[in-house]
């Protein structure tokens, strides 16, 4: 009887030692609900949130004003550069029109300077000079005739002075016309053309500035994606000082999970590692993914699971997990990420 009791005690002890020596595996916390992955094979687990792979883009106004038109609704698919909203811009449009008109005027002036006088202007200047040559000849002959008469007393001094005045004024007008004709024949000076070109360049810059100010009233999507939230309506004010987004857009064709790995588990996570993702909203389903980036700095916890045993004051490392193509999950959904053990490439395609 005593031997039998000793044998039983030894058997129980051996069973206990075997149980203590058996390796343990990380398993999903029981508070997570019905979405339970397969047992074992996980190096670490972490809560996370689903987001577009390119992150959400908040689209804001670059100017202060009032929205004239809001052209999208939530769930609309938009392309790169598509107009999302228009801020009232009648003043900017008027300034652009005025700048374009001034540019057209200055460009015409430059063309006139480069081309020079028209043939009609040349013919007119030559005719005027010929007429003044004839007038000068008459004035000269009249003065030469009256000068000896005045010396003999046959003509008055007043008549001689009048003849001299007419001669001098005719010479001055003839010299001025000759200079004008010379300028017309020679064409524009290089410095005049350069000055006119500078004025045109300034006008072009004014047009570009007015166009840029008008463009800022047109709010466009920076990426191709889906409107996740519409946050403004026509008639509401917008500002570029601490702006509130007009809309939020994200590319839902490529999703990822931003997981928060406990600081005690960061040695078990690496780039390229396969991951399984579960969500309470999809019980019994697993979504595959791959670690795309591991942060290099610990931070505070942002994702709250609401589980009784959750530690809210621990440090975490953000890990980005690219979900496999074709996975359909709502943006902002809270999920749990399970990081597989072994070769990072193991389990791809599952």
CATH number for the 57-88+217-249 domain, one of 1.20.1250.20, 2.40.50.100, 3.40.640.10, 3.40.228.10? 2.40.50.100
The domain limits of the chain are 25-53+254-340, 57-88+217-249, 95-212
Start-to-end CA span in the chain (Å): 58
pLDDT of residue 117: 61
Say what the pTM is.
Answer: 0.60
pLDDT at 1: 43
Tens digits of residue pLDDT in 162-184: 888 998 998 999 898 887 777 66
pLDDT at 139: 87
pLDDT given for residue 343 in this prediction: 53
User: Among residues 261, 334, 246, which one has the least CA distance to residue 301?
Assistant: 261
Fold of 25-53+254-340: Elongation Factor Tu (Ef-tu); domain 3 (2.40.30)
């Amino acid at each position: 009887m005593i031997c039998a009791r000793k044998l039983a005690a030894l058997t129980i002890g051996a069973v206990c030692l075997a149980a203590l020596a058996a390796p343990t595996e990380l398993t999903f916390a029981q508070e997570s609900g019905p979405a339970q992955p397969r047992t074992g094979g996980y190096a670490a687990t972490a809560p996370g949130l689903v987001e577009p792979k390119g992150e959400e883009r908040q689209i804001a106004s670059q100017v202060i004003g009032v929205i004239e038109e809001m052209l999208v609704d939530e769930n609309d698919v938009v392309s790169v550069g598509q107009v999302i909203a228009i801020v009232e811009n009648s003043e900017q449009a008027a300034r652009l029109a005025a700048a374009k008109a001034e540019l057209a005027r200055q460009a015409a002036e430059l063309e006139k300077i480069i081309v020079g006088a028209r043939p009609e202007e040349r013919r007119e200047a030559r005719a005027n000079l010929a007429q003044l040559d004839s007038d000068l000849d008459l004035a000269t002959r009249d003065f030469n005739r009256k000068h000896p008469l005045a010396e003999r007393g046959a003509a008055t001094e007043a008549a001689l002075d009048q003849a001299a005045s007419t001669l001098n004024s005719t010479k001055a007008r003839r010299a001025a016309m000759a200079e004008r004709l010379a300028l017309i024949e020679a064409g524009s000076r290089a410095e005049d053309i350069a000055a006119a070109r500078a004025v045109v360049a300034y006008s072009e810059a004014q047009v570009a500035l007015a166009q840029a100010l008008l463009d800022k009233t047109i709010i466009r999507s920076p990426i191709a994606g889906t409107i996740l939230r519409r946050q403004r309506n026509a008639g509401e004010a917008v500002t570029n000082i601490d702006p509130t987004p007009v809309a939020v857009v994200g590319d839902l064709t490529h999703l990822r999970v931003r997981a928060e790995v406990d600081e005690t588990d960061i040695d078990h996570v690496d780039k390229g590692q396969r991951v399984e993702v579960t969500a309470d909203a999809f019980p019994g389903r697993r979504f595959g993914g791959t670690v795309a980036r591991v942060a290099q700095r610990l931070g505070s916890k942002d994702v709250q699971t609401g589980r009784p045993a959750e530690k809210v004051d621990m440090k975490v490392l953000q890990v980005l997990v690219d979900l496999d193509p074709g996975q359909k999950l709502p943006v902002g959904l809270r999920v749990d990420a399970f990081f597989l053990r072994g070769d990072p490439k193991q389990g791809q395609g599952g």
